[in-house]
Amino acid sequence: MPMTKEQAATGSVAKRIAGSISKVIVGNGEIIELMLCALVARGHVLFEDVPGTGKTMTAKALAKSIDCRYARIQFTPDLLPGDVTGLSVFNAQESRFVFNPGPVFTNILLADEINRATPRTQSSLLECMEERQVTIDGITRKLEEPFLVIATQNPVETQGTFPLPEAQLDRFLMRLKPGYPDTEGALAILSRFQADDPLSRLESVATAADIVAAQEAFQNVFVSEPVMRYVVSVCERTRALPQVQLGASPRAMLALMRAAQALALIRGRDFVTPDDIKALAKPVLAHRLVVRGMYSHEGIQEQAVEEALSSVNAPTEAEAKA
């Protein structure tokens, strides 16, 4: 089946945005592609890495590349839920309460250092991220599409932080780790920023309507039964591993399939292949796994996903098209 006009347009939009972000961010093409995949799949992204690896810069570059609203919240221990969602304030002149919307009423929200806020404030994002709405004083207000939350956190510094609970982590479609650049990438960064600030000159290359259209188009990407069975088998395998206490849930299976549909569309296909599943398994599943205490060292979640992938036979591409 040939790709529809809407599906073909999604790949073009993704390439333009990726090219725009690449004017600021050196390397990390895979991270940029995965972030766009989450955007198209109507998911949210958690950037987890040490300070100075470009987490906030990448989020800002994405926001400037799209003609839409952008807001940033610096999460701190004294931040309150109302500072995120907004609150009703009494207007003496009108003798009534008036709702003042918080920064969450935007299209792209950067939740910087999200683990520095208390669990009470962190939970204020649960309804926003899952249902794309805010309920205050018994009144539910819908958030405008597209709506993407990009959160950052530093996994090394734990003093004065509040680790995200499993329910909060499960709201993020992906956890991405940019990492340090290689030697050539580091030299390119120094050269690019020596006497310039490319972020300040970045202009939008897509509209909010383009993103909404892409989010509607990705749902029609074909997923064959063998590929679905592959997704189920990989997720079920994570639950059987001895080092995993809590494996991938049905929500994780859905997240993996939807992310694969979006990735296929970005890569110019109207069907999902096993390679799409393999490329997305770690960023989509790893942060959702709860490992047992004796195994809880850095990277064990990714290793568990790799073990699950290696122990399940993948279907052929011919079966994926069938």
Domain boundaries, the chain: 1-190+207-219, 221-322
pLDDT of 69 higher than 90: yes
More confident position, 167 or 235: 235
pLDDT tier, 157 (very low <50, low <70, confident <90, very high otherwise): low
Q: Note the pLDDT of residue 274.
A: 94
- Tokens for 87? 């609150």
Sign of dihedral through CA atoms 177, 180, 184, 189?
positive
Q: Which residue type occupies 303?
A: Q
Pairing status of strand 290-291 against strand 244-246: antiparallel
pLDDT of 7 higher than 90: no
Q: Note the pLDDT of residue 78.
A: 93
CB 216 within 8 A of CB 3: no
pLDDT of 294 higher than 60: no
Average pLDDT, the chain: 90
pTM of the model: 0.91
Q: Which residue type occupies 57?
A: M
Q: Note the pLDDT of residue 144.
A: 94
pLDDT tier, 94 (very low <50, low <70, confident <90, very high otherwise): confident
Q: What top-level class would CATH report for the domain 221-322?
A: mainly alpha
Report the alpha-carbon distance of residue 143 to residue 251 in Å, rounded.
22
Angle 209-126-146 (CA atoms, 0-180°, nearest 5)?
0
Q: What top-level class would CATH report for the domain 1-190+207-219?
A: alpha beta
